[in-house]
Amino acid sequence: MSSAPLIGVLALQGGVREHLGSLVHAGAHAIAVHSLEDLEAVQGLVIPGGESTVMSKLAIQDGLIEPLRAARATGLPMFGSCAGMIMLANRVSDAREDQEFIGGIDIAVRRNAFGRQVDSFEMDLEVQGIGGTAFPAVFIRAPWVEEVGSEVQILSTIAAGPRAGTIVAVQQGPLLATSFHPELTGDIRIHATFVEIVRQYA
Ligand code: GLN
């Protein structure tokens, strides 16, 4: 395949533009995915941060939830940040009762897990496989990972402080997820990792 894969960003709701920019900097072609036709065109898909309850509602309304699950089941690489991690988790605590997910990563996550007092914060993290220095991670009403299945690779945990040991980045085959927002920092190393995953699985 060409060295610049075509990667979509699910554009129902959330931080679409920032992900498009990061993907292009990381060497991909990038388009916003609004429809089934768009979804069928891409070789990988980013599920952005935002609000997973709203994203779920719009995906159902637009008839995209089943096609997204089908695309995932046939091996389309996906990267979810924050709300996107929630969308890709197999088990979600503190979800709305009518909330639907794409699923695929054998993890249990808890929505809004860091609590009200720490709605958003920044933290330098060691992330496996990205090389170099620590990654500047921005967390905004973020989920955390409470359980991981045996197929899941843990890429990052919080190193110190009251939340030490909390899992905040995982990969399972072509599926990548972070509790935080790499699209907001200008550091494209996690997007570059996803571009590599897409190349590898295409
Ligand atoms: N709390 C949001 C949710 O449950 C996620 C927040 C985010 O994506 N920044 O979907």
> In the annotation, is 82 catalytic?
yes
User: How far apart are alpha carbons 84 and 81 in whole angstroms?
Assistant: 5
User: How far apart are alpha carbons 202 and 140 in whole angstroms?
Assistant: 32
Instruction: Phi first, then psi: give them for residue 156, nearest 5 degrees.
Output: -160, 140
Ligand 1 atom 5: residue of nearest CA: 83
Query: Per the domain annotation, does 174 fall within a domain?
Result: yes
How far is C-alpha 27 from the geometric centre of its chain's CA atoms? 18
One digit per residue, the tens of pLDDT, for the chain of length 202 reads 558 999 999 999 999 999 999 999 999 999 999 999 999 999 999 999 999 999 999 999 999 999 999 999 999 999 999 999 999 999 999 999 999 999 999 999 999 999 865 689 999 999 999 988 999 999 999 999 999 999 999 999 999 988 999 999 999 999 999 999 999 999 999 999 999 999 999 8
Count: domains in the chain: 1
Query: Per the domain annotation, does 125 fall within a domain?
Result: yes
Of the residues 141, 144, 178, which should be mutated to test ligand 1's pocket, given the most ligand atoms within 8 Å of the CB? 141
Phi-psi region of 195 (alpha: psi -120 to 50; beta: other; left: phi over 0): alpha
Query: Per the domain annotation, does 146 fall within a domain?
Result: yes
Query: Per the domain annotation, does 27 fall within a domain?
Result: yes
Question: Each residue of 65-103: b (16+ CB within 10 Å) or e?
Answer: beebbebbeeebbbbbbbbbbbbbbbbbeebeeebbbbb
pLDDT at 3: 80
pLDDT at 187: 97
Q: What is the CATH number of the domain that holds 175?
A: 3.40.50.880
pLDDT at 118: 66
Instruction: Phi first, then psi: give them for residue 136, nearest 5 degrees.
Output: -80, 105
110 within 8 A of 93, measured Cβ to Cβ: yes
Residue numbers of the domain that contains 156: 6-201
Judge if the beta carbon of residue 83 lies within 6 A of ligand 1: yes
Question: Which tokens is 182 given?
Answer: 């790499």
Judge if the beta carbon of residue 80 lies within 6 A of ligand 1: no
Judge if the beta carbon of residue 51 lies within 6 A of ligand 1: yes
Question: Which tokens is 5 given?
Answer: 């894969």
Query: Per the domain annotation, does 169 fall within a domain?
Result: yes
Inter-CA distances, 40 with 36, 70, 72, 79, 191, Å? 6, 11, 12, 16, 21
Query: Per the domain annotation, does 1 fall within a domain?
Result: no
pLDDT at 115: 80
